[in-house]
Amino acid sequence: MKDNELSFDRSCHVLYSKPCKKQIQSKIALHYPEDERDAVWERVQRQYAEYLADWRTDLGGKKNFHNGAGGTYDCIALMTYYKVCQAVTSLAEIEEMESELFLPVFRLLSKFVDCNKPFFRKLMYQSFRNAEKQCGQWHDYEMLVAPFDKAQPIYYEFTVCPAAEFAKQHDLLEVMPALCNPDYTAMELIHARLIRTSTCANGCKCDYTICGDKDPYAKEHPEFRDEAGYRKNS
């Protein structure tokens, strides 16, 4: 089925990104014989459209930067793929797919950004403040950024996450670690460390404490994986 034949309200929703489509189709090709692949992909497409028919309509569509590659709608598409192809896929594969969607910009930044340096820490903080303003416009991710203190790690939190809301609504919370964990890798690529104790999927907020990878604060809060598969810190 062609993407433009999918029936959903495009005035408020967006289609999965082209990189997301490529990721899903490549995994379908990996797991299914050639004569089944088109049918499996169509099942994913139809399930995606069905999910959107019963999904909130206030996320800003194409105007909202959170709805681009690796963002909210791609997370929905990956959860759709997991739902349809659960017999052959895995959470490790979903985490790999989300990483390929979410991390390219951080791989580019890794060539020159070092969050141990005050200039880049302040620049990162300003980018979070800008994101906070945009979240305030759409009320998709309710975001709070703490005041900047050059002597302390950067801190912000989400108290609402639409991807987590969707997972709860459709009994797909088991997939959320795979979608949240790439945040850690993103920070590592720019010589930072993420310290997190909970997410909106397994707690009341998603907390981000960010310091340089040479900051002693990072060693004081070692990382581990919990029983659900979340990367988190003590």
Last residue of a domain, one of 48, 81, 102: 102
How would DSSP label each residue in the chain? --GGG--S-TTT--PPPHHHHHHHHHHHHHHS-HHHHHHHHHHHHHHHHHHHHTS-S-S-GGG-GGGSTTSHHHHHHHHHHHHHTTTT--HHHHHHHHHHHHSHHHHHHTTT--TTSHHHHHHHHHHHHHHHHHHHHH-SS-EEEPPP-TTS-EEEEES--HHHHHHHHTT-GGGHHHHHTHHHHHHHHTTEEEE-S--TTTSS-EEEEEEETT-HHHHTS-EEE-TTS-EEE-
Asked if residue 92 and residue 45 are part of one domain, the reply reads yes
What is the domain extent for residue 128? 111-233
Asked if residue 129 and residue 28 are part of one domain, the reply reads no
Asked if residue 145 and residue 82 are part of one domain, the reply reads no
Q: What is the mean pLDDT of each run of 10 residues along the chain (234 residues)?
A: 92 95 98 98 98 93 89 97 98 97 95 96 95 86 94 96 96 98 97 97 96 96 96 95
Asked if residue 227 and residue 180 are part of one domain, the reply reads yes
pTM of the model: 0.94
pLDDT of residue 200: 96
pLDDT of residue 135: 86
Asked if residue 159 and residue 55 are part of one domain, the reply reads no
Asked if residue 54 and residue 129 are part of one domain, the reply reads no
pLDDT of residue 226: 96
Please state the domain count of the chain.
2
Asked if residue 94 and residue 130 are part of one domain, the reply reads no
pLDDT of residue 73: 97
